[in-house]
Amino acid sequence: MTGDGVRLLAPDGTRVPHPEHSIDLSPEELRSLYRDMALARRFDAEGVTLQRQGELGLWPSLLGQEAAQVGSVRALRDDDHAFPSYREHAVALGRGMDPLALLRLFRGVDHGDWDPAEHRFHLYTLVIGSQTLHATGYALGLAKDGSESAVVAYFGDGATAQGDVSEAFNFAAVYGAPVVFFCQNNQWAISESNERQTRVPLHQRARGFGFPGVRVDGNDVLACLAVTRWALERARRGEGPTLIEAFTYRMGAHTTSDDPSRYRDAAEVESWRAKDPLLRLERLLRAEGASDDAFFAATEAAGEELAARVREGVRSMAAPGVHELFDHVYAEPHALVDEERAAFDVYRAAFVQEG
Amino acid sequence: MTGDGVRLLAPDGTRVPHPEHSIDLSPEELRSLYRDMALARRFDAEGVTLQRQGELGLWPSLLGQEAAQVGSVRALRDDDHAFPSYREHAVALGRGMDPLALLRLFRGVDHGDWDPAEHRFHLYTLVIGSQTLHATGYALGLAKDGSESAVVAYFGDGATAQGDVSEAFNFAAVYGAPVVFFCQNNQWAISESNERQTRVPLHQRARGFGFPGVRVDGNDVLACLAVTRWALERARRGEGPTLIEAFTYRMGAHTTSDDPSRYRDAAEVESWRAKDPLLRLERLLRAEGASDDAFFAATEAAGEELAARVREGVRSMAAPGVHELFDHVYAEPHALVDEERAAFDVYRAAFVQEG
Amino acid sequence: MTGTTSTPAGPERTTLVAALNAALRAALAEDPRTLLMGEDIGRLGGVFRVTDGLQKDFGEGRVMDTPLAESGIVGTAIGLALSGYRPVVEIQFDGFVFPAYDQIVTQLAKMHARSRGKVRLPVVIRIPYGGGIGAVEHHSESPEALFAHVAGLRVMSPATPSDAYWMLREAIRSDDPVVFLEPKRRYYEKGEVDRRPAARPGPPRARVVREGTDLTLVAYGPMVATCLNAAAVAAEEGHELEVIDLRSISPIDFDAVDRSVRRTGRLVVAHEAPVFFGAGAEIAARITERCFYHLEAPVLRVGGFHTPYPPSRLEDEYLPGLDRVLDAVDRALAA
Amino acid sequence: MTGTTSTPAGPERTTLVAALNAALRAALAEDPRTLLMGEDIGRLGGVFRVTDGLQKDFGEGRVMDTPLAESGIVGTAIGLALSGYRPVVEIQFDGFVFPAYDQIVTQLAKMHARSRGKVRLPVVIRIPYGGGIGAVEHHSESPEALFAHVAGLRVMSPATPSDAYWMLREAIRSDDPVVFLEPKRRYYEKGEVDRRPAARPGPPRARVVREGTDLTLVAYGPMVATCLNAAAVAAEEGHELEVIDLRSISPIDFDAVDRSVRRTGRLVVAHEAPVFFGAGAEIAARITERCFYHLEAPVLRVGGFHTPYPPSRLEDEYLPGLDRVLDAVDRALAA
Ligand SMILES: Cc1ncc(C[n+]2csc(CCOP(=O)(O)OP(=O)(O)O)c2C)c(N)n1
Ligand SMILES: Cc1ncc(C[n+]2csc(CCOP(=O)(O)OP(=O)(O)O)c2C)c(N)n1
Ligand SMILES: [Mg+2]
Ligand SMILES: [Mg+2]
């Protein structure tokens, strides 16, 4: 299991048979996967644009990782839970999240304040790897409840170096927690390539903790869906965790603050362009007659509509009120916060008066 | 590679052939290994006794782990480095350490203040797993120096669950550091058995980080020596780290503060008594005519002598001077420490005067 | 007694450890969502026996021996809390909480604010802390300032068996994360505990444990008993000290200290933790700001030195014992 | 320029980032045992370009991109220091130092004391810190109190390019571990730097950056410039503030503050970190103790609130800017 990993759809859009992970999808389902990827890509591009226009402070682009995210999230049942890192915009959309919720975070209006219970999509986590333990704990909770729901934890190739991720692997293995560790290996952790993070392919890490690790072609949405579904079923059956390494590529900069020309070759990026996840599904759809130009035009139009809605939403976002500073530090009354809030009010009142 | 692991000497004292890890030792060398194990055991027993008599605050007994420690440390060259945890008394003796240095720590006279450079035996480390990173860093330093020395990091089965240990595995693998990770799997981390710490045998952990892991019969001093030597040679040749899992047993309590009857069966302890590391080497020595009653009597006498010296040394240990509190916090002058020392002197002077 | 607790007919005399055990037992019995997690808390009952017998009575699913990894323990506790449980985590000793510090500071403390109140993390982190038990390195530290500076956490420490019982119950009831510091050198001291529901106090506020007029002596956790001794000695010399047990270190009940200092005009704060950047600094700064014109002497602090906790044969010199507290009191009275 | 530095003929105007880069370059060139370690410090030159060009000139063996694991970075840096190297570690942002906190607090800070001076750990931990750059969560924090409370560490923060250069050189020269806090919102501000050896000052002591008679204003790092602005504004209103840049947060040069406060009788301390258990508490407590009879008003503190660092659209409200500093000054002057 080296090279590109489990693959069901080749870059040229032809299907590839696989002994274990075949999948049977209707044309409608295939179109819907394409549509989700296309909308995610358009949304993401709008994020980059809005940042360039000064509307956002930062944007971490998912460009190139649409298949990994859309395929994996499609495998989740409604009652399953996703624990993202900070680049899982397509996963968010796949869970039904309001895209503006993500943008509020990157605009600096809040820290990402959605209710995880609403879409079983947890908070973005910026401290690399932390959320893998939360996901494991959540999965333990589900198991204790006797629930058949499962959890997917998203993280990057760089994250695998963090002690927390190894501890999550071990806790999940020891307790047999129903959690799928979904690593998007986009080849880069900011400027550091895989060789700085690991000596061997990442999916191999799992074996040493006592559970299976699988590499999947992360630009193949069918394979990502099939393998994640398989891993979730294992989890539901009480067979414990699985590590999925989705072998993909970060086509853009790490974030809008980054300048990848300092550390990687254009040729490498170019070589991955040929493996584009949308293009290959488009080829399949066209080859199998599952969609025509009208479908693609409609999808594009839907993308533009989403982008316009998002643009408009960002521009009209209310700034947070100053009391937001104090209002949610604690769940219960807290004398010090109350005192500081009161002093701040006095200060502001005086200040407004004076000036 | 499950079960007891690499074995060259069976519990009944007969030799076991091994395709890769055979070892050829002279009768003198065999006797010397036995002697080191016997002295370590006697020293350790004295530690327990001294604690019972109130001379020490605590003692972590190595009983049962003599072969793992004596075998592995014998594999080190003089210029190699050992990074212990806190139970490596036989490793300490094997490096030429003054046994009283260890006892000062457990008496509470100091925190274990020997100079690591003197015997290439580093400080005892009580925060589980921390020293594996120090060992890895040290090994990187040796490699940078172009040295052919290597490093052995000692830790327990419980320690493998710590993020630091996984990070050490990964750093060592990524940089190809000349370090041997020597895990004494004594089956217990205080009251928790292996199943609480890992789902699979521990030596398997290494593969997922990209280097070999080997289980060795930790009660077989010959196998421990042979496998550690092999791993050290790999390190010297620039082939990177190795994990050795020495499968052994903690015959005593975790420390003198512990009461293992609360959590483990006497029968289990009994079953391991049959695998005693000293007994099997004694059987070999006798069977091969390499030593006679006189040798064993002399060894016992040497043990009693060591015990007497240690007892005497502990009882006559000077209490630390009060200025020890302040004298080594920083290497360079520090205004706050100076101020506190001065204030303390004033306070004590007044106090002594008053009464 | 299987998963139940008996409500006693009246107050009992128990050790602080037994009171903590009773509080955990009551919480486990009352709320199936309460979980205990930690190293060696199951069959062993914890190295101090605080969880003695609880795994036997409530099962391995509720009293969980965990892998030896503090970040993993706190991180999975956060996940369990997200899924509706109320985990009570035991850290074996003060010096071993630091591998979990990242999860505590960047996740546990912040998730309520991050989610603007949508996520609550009712996680209790129990830590036996402080010195005076003749232990080896890392087993005698007082890290409270390192938690108190972090917004989003509550930090408390009981001084008596009764407070141990009720404050731990309160910590488990709270929807905020609580760092619960247990004064390990007082574990086996006894006191009266009234476990009847009617005796339940609210959230911990500072308590005047001895009234006095000449000087206010503020402490918490293991130092409260020391300060009471100091007050007794001082009384023989004709000085009436008012002793306040803070109970909560974050937030601090400044009103209670303020009230007392306005009467006494003098304040000494005592804790085991190093003085530099310790709780005494915060209390001195804030009370001086509030009571500037009532103070007849500067606030004095007595505590640990700016050194690592020393080897045990030096701990009597290091710890602020009776004599060092009295010395500070004398200096404050003389000023 | 391969592994060498040119000594300039005289002072130059550079940014704070460029001054740090020059200090690292000089240290690498002078001592082959100096190493840089961190995430993205190689080809990228660090996310703030502090290490720009250094890997190219000194090689991957001296300027090491590490795996993404802060505990691993600091832990291996300790090992490298034990083997005779002098590692300078970069932590990418303030909020990401906590995974390394255990190694810093239990190992790096303590090994010199543990070994009674036999082991020295000349490790520098560089951390871009503080807010005001419009960043997302964890990228704007001021954790200095969490290091200053820990004995065995030195903590310092430069306010100007010149101090950035010389204090970093001093930190690397020191045989003690140093937490070196870089005021990231001042990274691109310019100032005069004299890199000639004769200009080298000793270990960092507090510096009076503006003389005044009415009130002492103490700050460090990013707040020094804010306080100088405040002093300029106050001067227009007829108040002469003396501004002191502490430079070192552990230890603190109390003598310098003391000297000033004895003259001015009033003290305000400003920092970005939360006030509760922050550096201002320690300074207020100690200076009040030392200068009780010289103080005409209580020491006031201005700083962050007891809240997590807020989303960037609120940071102007959160950060103690010119107006909040002036408000505290006014209150202190009015008292
Ligand atoms: C604990 C921690 N250290 C450092 C960082 C800074 N940082 C943000 S993203 C990143 C790289 C992450 O790489 P990877 O895990 O591969 O995820 P990707 O960004 O490629 O999706 C780093 C170092 C951080 N956020 N958290
Ligand atoms: C970080 C940390 N957590 C907890 C402890 C408390 N503790 C001391 S020894 C021990 C068990 C260690 O087990 P193992 O690694 O198997 O080593 P052994 O004692 O069996 O030699 C524990 C939990 C510690 N010393 N450090
Ligand atoms: Mg990546
Ligand atoms: Mg063990």
| pLDDT confidence of residue C9 | 86
With beta carbons under 8 A apart, name residues in chain A contacting D91.
none
Residue nearest to atom 11 of ligand 2 (CA): B189
DSSP 8-state class, residue D310: P
Interface size between A and C, measured as CB pairs under 8 A: 143
Question: Phi/psi at B251 (nearest 5 deg)?
Answer: -75, -30
Nearest CA, atom 19, ligand 2 = B189
Question: What is the DSSP pairing of strand D12-15 with strand D190-193?
Answer: antiparallel
Give the C-alpha separation, B234 to B150, whole Å: 10
Percentage above 90 pLDDT, chain C: 96
| Residue of A200, A205, A209 with shortest CB distance to B199 | A209
Q: Which residues contact B267 (CB under 8 A, 6 or more apart)?
A: none
Give pLDDT tens digits for D232-250: 999 999 999 999 999 999 9
**Dihedral angle sign, alpha carbons of residues A50, A54, A56, A61:** positive
* Sequential pLDDT tens for chain A (355 residues): 347 899 999 999 999 999 999 999 999 999 999 999 999 999 999 999 999 999 999 999 999 999 999 999 999 999 999 999 999 999 999 999 999 999 999 999 999 999 999 999 999 999 999 999 999 999 999 999 999 999 999 999 999 999 999 999 999 999 999 999 999 999 999 999 999 999 999 999 999 999 999 999 999 999 999 999 999 999 999 999 999 999 999 999 999 999 999 999 999 999 999 999 999 999 999 999 999 999 999 999 999 999 999 999 999 999 999 999 999 999 999 999 999 999 999 999 987 665 5
- Average pLDDT rounded to a whole number, residues D99-124: 98
Q: For residues C48 and D1, what is the distance between their CA atoms, to the nearest angstrom?
A: 61
- The mean pLDDT value for D106-122 works out to 98
Are the CB atoms for B241 and B169 separated by under 8 Å?
Answer: yes
Decide if A167 touches C, using CB distance below 8 A.
yes
The Cα–Cα gap between B217 and A221 comes to: 47
**Is residue D187 within 8 Å of D4, Cβ to Cβ?**
no
Chain C contact set for D261 (CB, 8 A): none
What is the A160 CA–ligand 3 centroid distance (Å)? 10
* Cβ of residue C102 closer than 8 Å to a chain A Cβ: yes
Give tens-digit pLDDT for D83-102.
999 999 999 999 999 999 99
CB B185 within 8 A of CB B249: no
The pLDDT value recorded for residue D3 is 44
Report, as residue numbers or ranges, the catalytic residues of C: 139
**Residues C308-317: what's their mean pLDDT?**
97
Using a 6 Å CB cutoff, which residues line ligand 2? B 87, 126-128, 156-159, 186, 188-190, 250, 254; C 39, 68, 70, 92, 96, 99
pLDDT on residue B352: 66
pLDDT of residue C335: 87
Q: Is-contact D302 D268, C-beta < 8 A?
A: yes
To the nearest whole Å, the CA of C232 is away from the closest chain B CA by 19
Using the beta-carbon criterion (under 8 Å), do B171 and D66 form an inter-chain contact?
Answer: yes
From A211, A298, A246, select the one nearest A73 (Cα to Cα).
Answer: A246
- Indicate the residue of D98, D148, D300 with minimum beta-carbon distance to C277: D148
Residue D192 vs residues A161, C268, D70, D195: alpha-carbon distances, Å: 41, 46, 34, 10
A210–B204 C-beta distance less than 8 A = yes
State the DSSP code for D222: T
Bridge partners (DSSP) listed for residue A155: A183
Q: Does C282 touch chain D (CB under 8 A)?
A: yes
Q: List D172's β-bridge partners, or say none.
A: none
pLDDT band at C3 (very low <50, low <70, confident <90, very high): very low
Q: What are the chain D neighbours of C274 within 8 Å (beta carbons)?
A: 149, 151
**Separation CA C192–CA C218 (nearest Å):** 22
D277's tokens: 């258990």
Task: Tell me, in angstroms, the distance from the centre of ligand 3 to residue A189's CA.
Answer: 4
Predicted confidence (pLDDT) at residue D23 exceeds the cutoff of 90: yes
Distance CA A268, CA B206 (A): 31
The residue length of chain B stands at: 355
B-to-C residue pairs, Cβ atoms closer than 8 angstroms: 115
Delineate the domains of chain D, giving CATH numbers in brackets: 13-199 (3.40.50.970), 207-334 (3.40.50.920)
C-alpha C294/C-alpha C94 separation (Å) is: 37
At B350, the pLDDT band (50, 70, 90 cuts) reads: confident
How many angstroms is it from D4 CA to the middle of ligand 1? 32
Is the pLDDT at C4 greater than 90? The verdict is no
Contact status, residue D214 vs residue D267, Cβ threshold 8 Å:
no
User: What is the Cα–Cα distance from C194 to C222, expressed in whole angstroms?
Assistant: 21
Q: Looking at this protein, which amino acid is placed at residue A108? A: G
User: For residue range C133-148, what is the model confidence (pLDDT) as tens digits?
Assistant: 999 999 999 999 999 9
Ligand 2 atom at minimal distance to the Cα of residue B60: 19
Chain B neighbors of C40, CB-CB under 8 A: 190-192
User: Cα angle at D334 between D330 and D335, to 5 degrees?
Assistant: 120
pLDDT of res. B10: 97
Q: What is the pLDDT of residue D53?
A: 98
**Chain B contacts in chain A segment 189-248 (CB below 8 A):** 195-200, 204-211, 213, 240
Q: What pLDDT, in 10s, does the model give residues C243-268?
A: 999 999 999 999 999 999 999 999 99
The answer to whether A163 contacts D99, with C-beta atoms less than 8 Å apart, is: yes
Question: What residues form DSSP beta bridges with B242?
Answer: B180
**How far, in Å, is the centroid of ligand 1 from the Cα of C108?**
20
Is D111 in CB contact (< 8 Å) with chain B? yes
Strand pairing category for C178-183 and C154-156: parallel
CB–CB contact B196 C134 (8 Å): no
Which amino acid is located at B29 in the chain? E
pLDDT in tens, D136-178: 999 999 999 999 999 999 999 999 999 999 999 999 999 999 9
The answer to whether the CB of D314 falls within 8 A of the CB of A322 is yes
Is D136 part of the contact surface with chain A (CB cutoff 8 Å)? yes
Q: Is the CB of A190 under 6 A from ligand 1?
A: yes
Residues B48 and B252: their CA atoms lie apart, in Å, by 10
**Chain A contacts in chain C segment 175-234 (CB below 8 A):** 175-176, 203
**Locate tokens 């014992």: which residue?**
C321
**Does the Cβ of A278 fall within 6 Å of ligand 1?**
no
pLDDT digits (tens, 9 = 90+) for B108-158: 999 999 999 999 999 999 999 999 999 999 999 999 999 999 999 999 999
Chains touching A (3+ CB pairs < 8 Å): B, C, D
Average model confidence (pLDDT) across chain C: 97
Interchain contact B216–D (C-beta under 8 A)? no
**Facing residue for C307 by CB, picked from B105, B106, B326:** B326
How far apart are alpha carbons B296 and B83 in whole angstroms?
31
**In the predicted model, what is the mean pLDDT of chain D?**
97
Kindly state the DSSP code that residue C103 receives in the 8-state scheme.
I
The pLDDT-based confidence of C153 (bands split at 50, 70, 90) is: very high
Q: How far apart are CA D115 and CA D95, in angstroms?
A: 31
Q: On the CB side of A182, how many CA atoms lie within 13 Å of its CA?
A: 38
pLDDT single digits (tens) D276-318 = 999 999 999 999 999 999 999 999 999 999 999 999 999 999 9
Interface test with B, best of D31, D83, D174 (most B CBs within 10 A): D83
What are the tens digits of pLDDT across the range B293-324?
A: 999 999 999 999 999 999 999 999 999 999 99
Q: B263-297: per-residue pLDDT in tens? A: 999 999 999 999 999 999 999 999 999 999 999 99
Q: D113 CB near a chain C CB, below 8 Å? A: yes
For residue A61, which of A79, A70, A53, A49 has the smallest C-alpha distance? A49
Closest residue CA from atom 13 of ligand 2: B189
The interaxial angle of helices B277-287 and B221-236, nearest 10 deg, is: 100
- Predicted local confidence at residue B354, as pLDDT: 59
